Amino acid sequence: MRVILSLERNFFMDSIINTFHIDWKIMIAQALNFGVVFFVLYMFALKPLTKIMKERTEKIEKGIKDAKENAEVLNNSKNEYKEVINKAKNEAQTMFQEGKKEAEAKKNQMMEEAKKEVAMMIENGKKTLESEKAKMLSETKSEITSLAVKIAEKLIGSKVDATFDEKTINEIKNL
């Protein structure tokens, strides 16, 4: 039975070889050609291509790493920016409040000074009025006195003497 199987196998192989016109010498030559082509392609195409792809992969990985670092730096910068802005806002608010307090203090001081000036003006006005009043009273008294003397002279007739005028004037002033 072995012999039959072996014969069948040989027959089957022979029929395939005859059908496809396979020649062992050509097959070996084609295998050698394939080996040479494969070696040449491997050395001049596949190896440099693998090297280029490896370098490209490293560049991409480095780019991704740099992008992550840049994103982190950008995020930190944004946080610092927000902190600086908040600090500046707080400082501006503080400065505004201080300026407001200073302005209020200056306003109060100016109001006090204005009140003092008004009080002084009123006091000076009162003094001026009093002096004017005293002056007017003095002038009025002297006019009344001179009128009284003139009336007395007309009633008496003539001047009695100089001392009489002075005595009469002093008495009238004391009234």
Looking at the chain, which runs of residues are DSSP E strands? none
- Please give the Cα distance from 103 to 107 (Å, whole number): 6
- pLDDT-wise least confident of 14-18, 81-85, 96-100, 161-165: 161-165
Report field, pTM of the whole predicted structure over 0.85: no
Q: Where are the domains of the chain?
A: 2-174
Helix/strand/coil for 87: helix
Give the separation between CA 34 and CA 67, rounded to whole angstroms. Answer: 45
Q: Give tens-digit pLDDT for 18-75.
A: 777 767 788 899 999 999 999 998 899 888 899 999 999 999 999 999 999 999 999 9
**Average pLDDT value for the chain:** 83
**Residue 141's pLDDT is what?**
82
pLDDT, one tens digit per residue, over 132-169 is 988 898 888 888 877 877 777 777 655 555 566 666 66
What is the b/e burial string over 101-127, where b = at least 16 CB atoms within 10 angstroms of the residue's CB? eeeeeeeeeeeeeeeeeeeeeeeeeee
